[in-house]
Every structure is written in structure tokens, then in C-alpha cells.
């Protein structure tokens, strides 16, 4: 299993690698929904655009979510109102609504097949605290003018104390959408490169981005839309983004008349979504999120499957997958200029698990900033807003990173190097700590487990057989290859020397 339904159900186009050095007006790093929307809109507005992705387009977070295109982002509008006031909360809503409408219009105009339809979304509570949060959220939603209702029952077999129903949101297959959006980008004259990880960025009047193989693109404007801005121009994004992992299972359900999208306010968080998959009804259940590198020793997929079985009678599970998201201290993304002094590098990150609308909105904002020099949403999503620093979430995250950093260094490892098939161990060899894993064929993989981003010590993730960084979310497979950034260098194998820590950020 361990595959996303979305990724399995769409055909990747197979774009070539960046094999030569090139120039363009705008380069975009990252082929998720944010990078693709930006590239499409810039090309439409006459810019010569090149987009590069480390893997395949739509293969990262965009192809691993729940397929919800919604302005209902759990409890969000009351939080924004408390911190920034009602006008900012309204601007956040207007921006995300414009993203939903943009996706629908693009699909209709270009007759894109991607299982799009308008539907409803509910955020529900089962506790008194959850109900209090819902009431506050509902009042702010009404103040903004959102088309929503407060209800006491769901149209699915799940008892709740109360819920907010958003009408007129939507759903689609995000990977199919991205593959089709890629086709439109090519039609507009832009270029897409896949399997071309960028490892270096040079700022200047013209920016240069380079692959590990030394191929480069020179551009007037650069857009960093690769989930986490591995290049941050000393803007400390790593201190303002909290990496979070979550899990999704998808199983066949006989309840063919059930529809809609649901999410709980209370913990443990549950996201529920009925979709039509391969002509059959699938129930997607998401949840069990935790900080990267801090997973418990349990099988999260089994927990979600049990929830689906006991609440909805689903037992035939066909897909399971996981995703990584970045959470900001004020729960609003960073979209705009990289920092106050850099005028030609733009960033889109920190979508707080709502990347399909926030990512699309990022494309709208950044293309407007590059072409027109302004956007109506610019101030709300400005990455340099100061209040992100003055929050308990910011202090908690960075206190936790410091604790993890020190704790990792103090864990010296085991002198006993006897490791059985399918087992991992942190071992101490030649005066250094290593992570060792013996695969099911008996081959032993020993890697330096000091993270190549900023030097935190990695933790073992037994469900996904990976080395995960609790500081900023980089992940590596047991052979040392990169699964998730911000790290740009793989782990070194035993006897190949020590890992290279990113010298530009240090």
C-alpha cells in the first residue's frame, strides 16, 4: 500500500531533467499547486517562465492531502480576528475564496477532468471546549459574511454536539489537476523540469539557481515554492515554521449516498471526506498528526482504520499515505517577498494544512506582485509581518528545537552493533554516532544521522523507515537519500566522512 490515491490515479507527464544552463524572466522552484499556479499566471501575463521540481510535479504535499478546496480551515477566522482584527480575517477569507473560484473557472474554461465538484464542509465538536471555539468561530464567520450555518447533526453516521456548515466549497483530485495545469503551462510557452533538485541559490540583480550537477538557471525574479524555503536569505524561516506529519487512509464504503467533507475541532483530530474513486465510493480518513521526529511507537494507519471501521463500517482499505505540513505561529501562510530588502525573490510556504487554497492564492498574489507590483492580499500574508515572532507558539517551537538539539547530542548511541533484519539502532562507531538499519534482505545501512540542514540529530520513524529531523522537518531514507527538505544534502554513509551542514544558513 503506502501510496496516495491521488498520485496513483493520475498519469505523470514525465518532464525531462534540467540538462543545460538557461535564462528566463522568472524561475519557480517547486511543482506543487503553489509553484504551478504561479508559473501558469506569470506565463499568461507574458513572462518567460521555467519551473523546476526535485521530483515529479504534484508528487509532494499537493498529491498527498485530502482533496478539499475549502475556505473552512477548521478554527481560523476567530484566531486571525483576535491577533490582527476583523479586516485581516476577512481578507484571508476573500483570498481563499478567490482561490476556490480561480480553480473552478480554470477547470471549466479548459475542460479539465479532475473530479471537481462543489460540495459542503463541516467543522464539528464533541466537547464543551470545542463547542465554545465553534461558537466564537461562527460569530466571526457571520461578521465576515460567509455563507454558513450552525447545525447540531451531520449527514453522516457520527454523533456530534455541534458543527459549522460551509456551503459552496469544493473538492477535486489534486494530482490530476496539477498534471493538467502542467499541460496548460507548457501551452503558454513555459518549461517544466522534473527530477532536478536545486541545491544552491545566488541572490543578485539576476538570481542564479543551481542543481547538484552544476546546471543553472539565471532569472530576474525567483519564486521559492518548494514547501520549505531551503534558501531563506537570513530571514529565519526555519524558526517560524513548525513541521507536522499526518496520515490518511482510504477505504471502500457501501454508503454510496454519503457526501461531503468533515473535520473535528477536538483532538485527536479527524478529517473525513467521501469521494468517488475509480467509479466506487471511497472514504478518506485523516489524522494522528504529530511533530516530525516525535512520532509514537504505534501504527497510525491502524488507528485511523479502526476509527473508520467502528464509526463507518469500513474494512476494505486500499490506500494509505502520509504528508508533511508546515505550521506558522499565527496559522497564516508566508506569501510575498522573501524579506524586506530582497525585491526579486518571493516565497510561498507555511500553508498550515490548507495548501490547495492557500497554495493557489500564493500563485495569484506572487504573480500580481511580480507583474503589477501589488496585490490586494499582500499585507495580510506578508512574510515579514512582525507578530509571528511575538507569540507563545513561536517561543514554544524554538524552545522545543533547542531542547531537541541538545537532547540529540547527548544520546551517544549503542556500542552493541548486532542488528536484526527490519531493525534500526543508533550506534557508536569510531567515536561517532550513526544510524543503522538492516533491511529485510539482510543488507546493513549505516549513515551519519546529524541533519545536513542545521545539525540536529535525527530520530528513527519506524512506520516509514526513515530518519526524521525534529527541528525543521527534513527526512531521509535509511540509505541517506533526501525525502523532504529543507536539507539539500543527503546523509553520508559510514566511512564516507561526516555530513556537510548547510554553511550558508549557519
Minimal distance in Å, beta carbon 486 to ligand FES?
5
Torsion of CA 380, 386, 392, 398, to 10 degrees: 110
Distance between CA atoms of residues 226 and 350, nearest Å: 11
Minimal distance in Å, beta carbon 11 to ligand FES?
33
For residue 27, give the C-alpha cell. 524561475
Element of type H or E holding 187: helix 174-187
Distance between CA atoms of residues 298 and 419, nearest Å: 21
Q: Please say which residue, 260 or 490, places its beta carbon nearer to ligand FES.
A: 490
Minimal distance in Å, beta carbon 199 to ligand FES?
15
Q: Please say which residue, 229 or 363, places its beta carbon nearer to ligand FES.
A: 229
Minimal distance in Å, beta carbon 469 to ligand FES?
3
Q: Please say which residue, 8 or 464, places its beta carbon nearer to ligand FES.
A: 464
Order across the sheet with 482-484: list the strands: 459-461, 466-468, 475-477, 482-484
Minimal distance in Å, beta carbon 455 to ligand FES?
6
Q: Please say which residue, 158 or 239, places its beta carbon nearer to ligand FES.
A: 239
- Give, in order, the Cα–Cα distances in Å from 234 to each of 90, 241, 342: 31, 14, 11
Minimal distance in Å, beta carbon 45 to ligand FES?
35
Minimal distance in Å, beta carbon 488 to ligand FES?
10
Q: Please say which residue, 198 or 454, places its beta carbon nearer to ligand FES.
A: 454
- Give, in order, the Cα–Cα distances in Å from 52 to each of 206, 209, 308: 17, 10, 38
Q: Please say which residue, 182 or 480, places its beta carbon nearer to ligand FES.
A: 480
- Give, in order, the Cα–Cα distances in Å from 197 to each of 99, 466, 484: 28, 20, 11
Minimal distance in Å, beta carbon 293 to ligand FES?
9
User: How is 320-379 classified by DSSP, letter by letter?
Assistant: EEEEEEEE-TTS--EEEESSSS-SSEEEEE--TT-HHHHHHHHHHHHHHHHHHS--TTHH
The binding site for ligand FES (CB under 6 A) comprises 238, 451, 453-456, 469, 471-474, 486-487
For residue 489, give the C-alpha cell. 544534502
Under 8 Å CB-to-CB from 303, ≥6 apart: which residues? 287, 288
Tell how far CA 416 is from the center of its chain.
38
Distance between CA atoms of residues 9 and 54, nearest Å: 21
Q: Please say which residue, 138 or 326, places its beta carbon nearer to ligand FES.
A: 326
Q: Please say which residue, 179 or 468, places its beta carbon nearer to ligand FES.
A: 468
Amino acid at each position: 500500500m503506502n501510496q496516495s490515491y491521488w498520485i496513483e490515479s493520475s498519469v505523470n507527464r514525465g518532464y525531462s531533467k534540467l540538462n543545460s544552463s538557461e535564462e528566463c524572466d522568472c524561475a519557480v522552484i517547486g511543482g506543487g499547486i503553489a509553484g504551478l499556479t504561479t508559473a501558469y499566471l506569470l506565463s499568461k501575463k507574458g513572462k518567460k517562465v521555467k519551473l523546476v521540481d526535485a521530483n515529479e510535479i504534484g508528487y509532494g504535499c499537493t498529491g498527498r492531502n485530502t482533496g478539499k478546496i475549502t475556505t473552512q480551515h477548521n478554527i481560523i477566522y476567530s484566531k486571525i480576528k483576535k491577533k490582527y482584527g476583523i479586516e485581516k480575517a476577512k481578507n484571508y477569507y476573500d483570498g481563499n475564496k478567490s482561490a476556490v473560484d480561480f480553480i473552478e473557472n480554470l477547470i471549466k474554461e479548459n475542460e479539465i477532468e479532475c473530479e471537481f465538484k462543489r460540495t459542503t464542509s463541516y467543522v464539528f465538536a464533541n466537547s464543551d471546549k470545542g463547542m465554545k471555539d465553534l461558537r466564537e468561530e461562527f460569530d466571526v464567520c457571520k461578521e465576515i459574511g460567509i455563507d454558513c450555518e450552525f447545525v447540531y447533526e451531520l449527514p453522516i453516521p457520527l454523533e456530534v454536539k455541534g458543527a459549522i456548515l460551509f456551503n459552496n466549497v469544493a473538492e477535486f483530485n489534486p494530482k490530476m489537476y496539477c498534471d493538467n495545469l502542467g499541460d496548460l503551462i507548457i501551452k503558454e510557452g513555459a518549461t517544466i523540469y522534473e527530477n532536478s533538485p536545486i541545491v544552491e541559490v545566488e541572490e543578485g540583480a539576476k538570481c542564479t539557481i543551481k542543481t547538484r550537477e552544476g546546471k543553472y538557471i539565471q532569472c530576474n525574479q525567483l519564486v521559492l515554492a518548494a514547501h520549505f524555503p531551503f534558501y531563506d536569505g537570513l530571514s529565519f524561516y526555519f524558526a517560524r515554521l513548525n513541521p507536522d506529519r499526518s496520515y490518511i487512509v482510504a477505504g471502500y464504503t457501501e454508503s454510496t449516498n454519503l457526501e461531503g467533507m468533515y473535520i473535528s475541532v477536538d483532538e485527536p483530530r479527524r478529517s473525513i471526506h467521501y469521494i468517488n474513486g475509480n467509479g466506487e465510493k471511497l472514504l478518506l480518513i485523516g489524522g494522528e498528526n504529530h511533530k516530525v521526529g516525535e512520532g509514537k511507537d504505534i501504527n497510525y494507519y491502524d488507528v485511523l482504520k479502526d476509527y473508520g471501521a467502528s464509526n463507518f463500517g469500513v474494512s476494505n482499505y486500499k490506500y494509505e499515505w502520509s504528508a508533511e505540513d508546515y505550521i506558522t505561529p499565527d496559522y497564516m501562510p508566508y506569501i510575498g517577498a522573501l524579506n524586506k530588502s530582497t525585491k526579486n525573490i518571493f516565497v510561498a510556504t507555511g500553508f498550515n494544512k490548507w495548501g490547495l487554497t492557500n497554495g493557489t492564492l500564493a500563485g495569484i498574489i506572487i504573480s500580481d506582485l511580480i507583474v503589477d507590483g501589488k496585490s490586494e492580499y499582500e499585507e495580510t500574508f506578508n512574510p515579514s509581518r512582525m507578530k509571528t515572532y511575538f507569540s507563545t507558539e513561536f517561543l514554544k517551537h524554538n524552545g522545543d528545537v533547542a531542547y531537541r538539539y541538545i537532547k540529540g547530542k547527548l544520546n551517544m548511541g549503542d556500542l552493541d552493533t548486532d542488528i536484526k533484519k527490519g531493525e534500526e539502532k543508533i550506534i557508536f562507531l569510531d567515536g561517532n554516532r550513526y544510524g543503522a538499519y538492516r533491511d529485510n534482505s539482510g543488507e546493513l545501512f549505516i549513515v551519519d544521522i546529524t541533519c545536513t540542514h542545521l545539525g540536529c540529530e535525527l530520530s528513527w520513524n519506524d512506520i516509514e523507515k526513515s530518519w526524521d529531523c525534529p527541528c525543521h522537518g527534513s527526512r531521509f531514507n535509511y540509505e541517506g537519500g533526501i525525502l523532504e527538505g529543507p536539507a539539500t544534502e543527503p546523509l553520508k554513509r559510514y566511512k564516507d566522512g561526516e555530513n556537510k551542514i548547510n554553511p550558508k544558513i549557519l
